[in-house]
A = this chain, B = another copy of it.
Amino acid sequence: MKEVIRYIKDNRGNYVEELKDFLRIPSISTLPEHKDDIEKCAKFVAEKLKKASLSRVEIFKTEGHPLVYGEWLGAPGKPTVLIYGHYDVQPVDPIELWNNPPFDPVVKNGKIFARGATDDKGQVFMHIKSVEAFFKTEGSLPLNVKFIIEGEEEIGSESLNAFIKRNSELLKCDAVLISDTPLYKAGVPTLTYGLRGLAYLEVEVAGPNRDLHSGTFGGTVANPINTLANIISKLHDKNGKITIPNFYDDVLNISKKEKENYKALKFSEKKFAEDLGVSKLNGEKGYSTLEKIWVRPTLDCNGIIGGFTGKGAKTVLPAKAISKISMRLVPNQDPGTVVKQFVRYIKKLAPETVKVEVKDLHGSLPCLTPLEDPAIVAASRAMEKAFGKKTVYVRDGGSIPIVPVFTKKLKAAIVLMGLGLNSENLHSPNEHFDLNHFHLGIISSAYFLKEYSDN
């Protein structure tokens, strides 16, 4: 193992240069004009996997963008790790806010600036390099490794979703290793062991068959905006609890150990509120801010529109009003069940004076890996060795929709060993990745392969 780590340290500079080549490819998945770049990027990844000495590397065509697969299964009897990541990136607009061109990587103050630096090319690359380091020094890996690197994460992972369902044997593994989540703080080794799920709906309230003059008709028919507002206002009680009947039935309570873990993180609610510019935080009574984000389900209106929204005044009583409403779900809630509960409740809240329609736009399952899972234990030790500090355990309030598909279809443990930071402008101009975290990530990955092989 010493040799592996020394090799990684010796090549620290080379890895950055190689990463730059990766970041130069503008693999924006949502823009059709970048289709060639996407193909080029998939080939780049495949080449790097070959160079890392994987025994089988293949690019799978899909309905959308290609999937890059790689494997080395030369350790019979040992566990198999599936490493997942994505080579596609977000668009770059507003381009004028970038200090450097987004696909011309620049290193400044120990950070590399480029679109995709932290989300997710830099993080994918760590694992390719740790695998390579084993082959370069020990000639083999201590366990079996598979890679699946997709090109549609930023647009919904549809092709991978279908691929997993059809190829669960090919992707069979004991653990899925993913680096696409943030560290709790710079320099603090972090494992994310839970993600929230999602149920995203659209509610339309329709009143009169046309927009009406609010003078001539106001006060005689239900106003769809007022009615929608009434419905929305009834979705929370005064303690911030969601009022949908049976909504909390399947919510897993936070364990005592988790509660203690979170307390130990010394999260500053004051700093959090200051950063957001709010004088007072909000949410479900009886829970800390971290608990509200990580272990409690929430309901938010993501959008609302109805009637006249231009400058000035128009006295219209609109025919309809629409709101996008989503719920973040926690284990063991099921988006299918929640959607049914939501629709039933909305229909009950809707007065006879309007017609209400609810559309289910999309959803994903929450997920949670037990802290005692051998993969989590190995990952924790690995990061501790790399960073020289105790690993902290966090959850994340967001969702990575493909993760629950891995859990369900592959029945594998999920290890979210992310090395990014929430402050690294992912999805925004001047995205960057801390090169020290990049380096520690390669070392963490190498230690993980070793630690988990002893299982």
Contacts and interface: CB of A to CB of B under 8 A. Distances in A.
Contacts of A397: 215-219
Q: What copy number does this chain have within its complex?
A: 2
Contacts of A209: 276-278
A186 to B, nearest CB: 16
Contacts of A60: none
Contacts of A298: 214, 218-219
A396 B213 CA distance: 12
A135 B218 CA distance: 42
A313 B222 contact: no
Interface stretch (A318-326, A379-387, A437-445): A318-326
A427 interface: yes
Given A30-B312, A307-B303, A315-B198, A228 B229 contact: yes
Contact of A307 (B235, B280, B284, B301): B301
A362 interface: yes
A313 B361 contact: yes
A236 interface: yes
A396 B292 contact: no
A93 to B, nearest CB: 9
Contact of A217 (B212, B232, B293, B305): B293
A328 interface: yes
Interface string A281-303: 11110000100110011101111
A229 B95 CA distance: 27
A308 B303 contact: yes
Interface residues of A, number: 93
A224 to B, nearest CB: 9
Given A353-B280, A428-B211, A216 B315 contact: no
A315 to B, nearest CB: 6
A55 to B, nearest CB: 36
Interface string A236-280: 100010000000000000000000000000000000110011111
A37 to B, nearest CB: 18
Contacts of A232: 225-226, 229-230, 233
Given A218-B300, A303-B309, 15 more contacts: A91-B314, A210-B425, A211-B427, A212-B428, A214-B326, A215-B399, A218-B298, A219-B293, A220-B293, A221-B278, A302-B314, A303-B308, A313-B362, A315-B398, A315-B399
The list of the 5 closest CB pairs from A to B, nearest first, reads A215-B398, A209-B277, A219-B298, A233-B233, A303-B307
27 contacts: A208-B278, A209-B276, A211-B427, A216-B293, A218-B397, A220-B272, A221-B281, A222-B278, A222-B282, A225-B303, A225-B304, A226-B300, A228-B229, A229-B232, A278-B353, A280-B352, A302-B307, A302-B313, A302-B316, A303-B306, A304-B304, A304-B307, A307-B324, A309-B322, A313-B324, A313-B361, A314-B324
